[in-house]
Amino acid sequence: MPSITRIPHHADDAAREAVAPERLLSGRPQQAVANLYSDPGNAFHCGVWEGDPGAWRVQYSEHEFCHLLSGRVRMTADDGDEVVLAAGDSFVIPAGYCGVWEVLEPARKLYAVYEPAS
């Protein structure tokens, strides 16, 4: 019988890593990801992410639901569309989104990711 998985609102046990240099645009941000659930088919994942101020390129092959627990981020799509999100905001990043993820204030989010079969 499957059981309920609790998702805490912190990534205390997650290792902090720098953004990959080829994606980095500004700052020296460190990130921590605590993936706390993956389905048996490895297509759906949930957890908590934390990031420091800085900006980097993103290209999504997955759909991601996010709920920002703290901080502020700016998402700027390659077409120029810009959204600033703050603690308490929930949003979806669709597969195919390309642009810049910028952390304006140290941020933490809950995430649920679905990777469609290719």
User: Distance between CA 62 and CA 94 in Å, rounded?
Assistant: 7
The ranges of the chain with pLDDT < 50 are none
Reported as a single tens digit per residue, the pLDDT across 3-33 is 899 888 887 888 899 999 999 999 999 999 9
Question: Which of 108, 111, 107, 109 has the alpha carbon at shortest distance from 54?
Answer: 107
pTM of the model: 0.92
Confidence (pLDDT) at 114: 98
Q: Is 80 left (phi over 0), alpha (psi -120 to 50) or beta?
A: left
Confidence (pLDDT) at 117: 81
Tokens (6 digits) for 91: 């949003």
User: Distance between CA 109 and CA 6 in Å, rounded?
Assistant: 15
Question: Which of 40, 7, 27 has the alpha carbon at shortest distance from 110?
Answer: 7
**For the chain, which domains are there?**
27-110 (2.60.120.10)
